[in-house]
């Protein structure tokens, strides 16, 4: 598979627009580059 098989789009969410790409088949894989923080929940 090459980059020509990828499809990019954006998703509007409150306060941001998320860019995502889809390609290939198989299980979902989520990559979040640069996410080196701590999520606090109460």
State the pTM of this model.
0.49
Helix (H) or strand (E) holding 8: strand 7-13
* Tokens encoding 23: 């390609």
pLDDT tens, 8-33? 899 898 988 888 888 888 888 887 77
Q: Tell whether the model's pLDDT for residue 1 goes beyond 50.
A: no
| HSE value, Cβ hemisphere, 13 Å, CA-based, for 15 | 0
pLDDT, residue 12, reads 92
pLDDT, residue 4, reads 57
Q: Is-contact 25 5, C-beta < 8 A?
A: no
* Tokens encoding 34: 């640069």
Q: Tell whether the model's pLDDT for residue 39 goes beyond 60.
A: yes
pLDDT, residue 3, reads 47
């Amino acid at each position: 598979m090459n980059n020509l098989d990828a499809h990019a789009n954006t998703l509007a969410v409150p306060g941001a627009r998320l860019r995502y790409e889809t390609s290939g088949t198989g299980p979902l894989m989520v990559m979040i580059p640069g996410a080196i923080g701590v999520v606090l929940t109460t």
